[in-house]
């Protein structure tokens, strides 16, 4: 019975045979990524005319780093950074693949952990943003969820995975503490003297129980986090009041739009997107506050077209999960993690295509997935 099934549907055996090759690819990606970020760290030291200790000391004022980073134009970055951007898919493969196969003895764990540390350090020192730390955490949670669901029928593996629950809690506390530090540092950089969050568009309710129980700085950090995951819908409401203007299918991607404008001299559709025109109309700053992914997609699809897009996306997402489970295909695994990050960022922004880095990663992963699918289909037909 098993023999007949394997001849009729041999995908399971294809997947397990591929496992070692997947880890070989991931190890190579880790090695290349570690080299890339060591070079970037050296470049950062040289460009700021300091040493590694002086650079690390600048972490005491992450807010100023972030403030300086926002003033840099995409088209005016160094040739080294432009080169690294074109290969930004490699570190993402290393992040996802290394996390997914971390329990495998054939993965070079020391190099992977070294890459993780240097990647976070370099990104925070270069742009003062929280997003790299958040992405590592999200990938960890997504992989944890995948392993948890796939091994629920195996009592031994399931018990091992359950032990990670405490680690998830500890990592979450560290993450929230880091978020609080970065937010307070930004307030200091922008000379926001008020200890309580208050802007033109939102404010913290200081009569809430939260502010009675915790110190103001901690309460502000929690309030900021809550706004991060929910405030985008306020921005979406502003977008819905803005008249429609078509952005020709590429306005949803700030990165792609800037590339097309720089190299093909096509009009930069970024200035015609809902978030940009909403800022001009209402003053709601698209660069500071979010408006959900729908605000970015609507210029290309219209708000009526977004539900259709999400249905098609869900169908593809399910097929991707099915392929990942059955065949252990590396590109399906990494693309599934990528699209899950997109889902988690729906209340915020179009994380798939927002920056040049994100645009390159998404396009390359889709290309690798299609390429692998075609070769796999040919293999199945031959056998």
DSSP character string of 325-373: HHH--HHHHHHHHHHHHHHHTTTT--TTTSSHHHHHHHHHHHHHHHHHH
Across the chain, which distance is largest between two alpha carbons, in Å? Answer: 73
Residue located via tokens 């000391």 = 57
d(CA 228, CA 226): 5
Structure tokens belonging to residue 330: 């590396």
d(CA 207, CA 205): 5
Cβ-contact 349, 143 below 8 angstroms: no
Cβ-contact 350, 253 below 8 angstroms: yes
Cβ-contact 379, 279 below 8 angstroms: no
Structure tokens belonging to residue 295: 């605000």
d(CA 37, CA 116): 10
| pLDDT value of residue 306 | 96
Q: Output the tens digit of pLDDT for each of the chain's 383 residues.
A: 444 433 332 333 333 345 788 999 999 999 999 999 999 989 888 887 777 777 776 677 776 777 676 666 666 677 888 889 999 999 999 999 999 998 788 999 999 999 999 999 888 888 777 788 888 989 988 988 888 777 665 555 556 666 667 777 787 788 777 777 776 676 666 665 555 566 677 777 888 888 889 888 778 778 877 877 788 999 999 999 999 999 999 999 999 999 999 899 999 999 999 999 999 999 888 877 889 999 999 999 999 999 999 999 999 999 999 888 888 889 999 999 999 999 999 999 999 998 899 999 999 999 999 988 877 666 666 76
- Strand-pair partners of 203: 198
Neighbours of 309 (CB within 10 A): 13
| pLDDT value of residue 145 | 83
| Angle subtended at Cα 122 by Cα 119 and Cα 125, rounded to the nearest 5 degrees | 145
Cβ-contact 43, 80 below 8 angstroms: yes
Q: Counting every residue, how long is the chain?
A: 383
Positive/negative CA dihedral, 197, 201, 207, 211 = negative
| pLDDT value of residue 176 | 74
| Angle subtended at Cα 255 by Cα 252 and Cα 261, rounded to the nearest 5 degrees | 95
pTM of the model: 0.85
367 alpha-carbon distance from chain centroid: 18
């Amino acid at each position: 019975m098993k023999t007949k099934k394997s001849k009729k549907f041999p995908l399971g055996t294809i997947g397990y045979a591929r496992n070692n090759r997947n880890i070989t690819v991931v190890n190579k990606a880790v090695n290349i990524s570690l080299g890339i970020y060591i070079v970037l760290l050296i470049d950062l030291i040289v460009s700021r005319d300091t040493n590694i200790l002086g650079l690390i000391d600048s972490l005491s004022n992450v807010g100023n780093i972030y403030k300086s980073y926002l003033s840099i134009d995409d088209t005016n970055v160094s040739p080294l950074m432009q080169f690294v951007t074109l290969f930004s898919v490699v570190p993402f493969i290393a992040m996802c693949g290394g996390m997914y196969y971390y329990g495998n003895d054939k993965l070079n764990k020391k190099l992977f952990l070294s890459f993780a540390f240097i990647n976070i350090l370099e990104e925070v020192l270069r742009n003062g943003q929280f997003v790299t730390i958040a992405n590592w955490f999200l990938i960890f949670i997504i992989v944890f969820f995948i392993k948890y669901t796939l091994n629920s029928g195996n009592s031994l593996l399931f018990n091992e995975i359950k032990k990670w629950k405490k680690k998830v809690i500890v990592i979450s506390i560290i993450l929230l503490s880091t978020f609080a530090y970065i937010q307070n540092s930004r307030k200091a950089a922008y000379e926001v003297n008020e200890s309580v969050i208050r802007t033109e568009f939102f404010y913290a309710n200081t009569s809430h129980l939260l502010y009675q129980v915790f110190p103001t700085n901690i309460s502000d950090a929690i309030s900021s986090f809550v706004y991060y995951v929910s405030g985008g819908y306020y921005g979406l409401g502003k977008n819905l009041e803005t008249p429609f203007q078509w952005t020709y299918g590429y306005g949803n991607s700030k990165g792609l739009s800037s590339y097309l404008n720089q190299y093909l001299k096509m009009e930069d559709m970024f200035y015609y997107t809902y978030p940009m025109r909403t800022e001009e109309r209402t003053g709601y700053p698209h660069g500071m506050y979010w408006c959900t992914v729908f605000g970015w997609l609507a210029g290309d699809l219209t708000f009526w077209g977004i539900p259709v897009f999400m249905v098609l996306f869900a169908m593809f997402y399910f097929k991707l999960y099915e392929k990942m489970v059955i065949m252990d295909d590396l590109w399906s695994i990494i693309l599934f993690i990528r699209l899950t990050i997109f889902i988690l960022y729906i209340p915020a922004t179009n994380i798939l295509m927002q920056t040049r880095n994100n645009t390159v990663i998404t396009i390359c992963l889709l290309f690798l997935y299609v390429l692998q699918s075609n070769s796999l289909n040919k293999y199945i037909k031959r056998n």
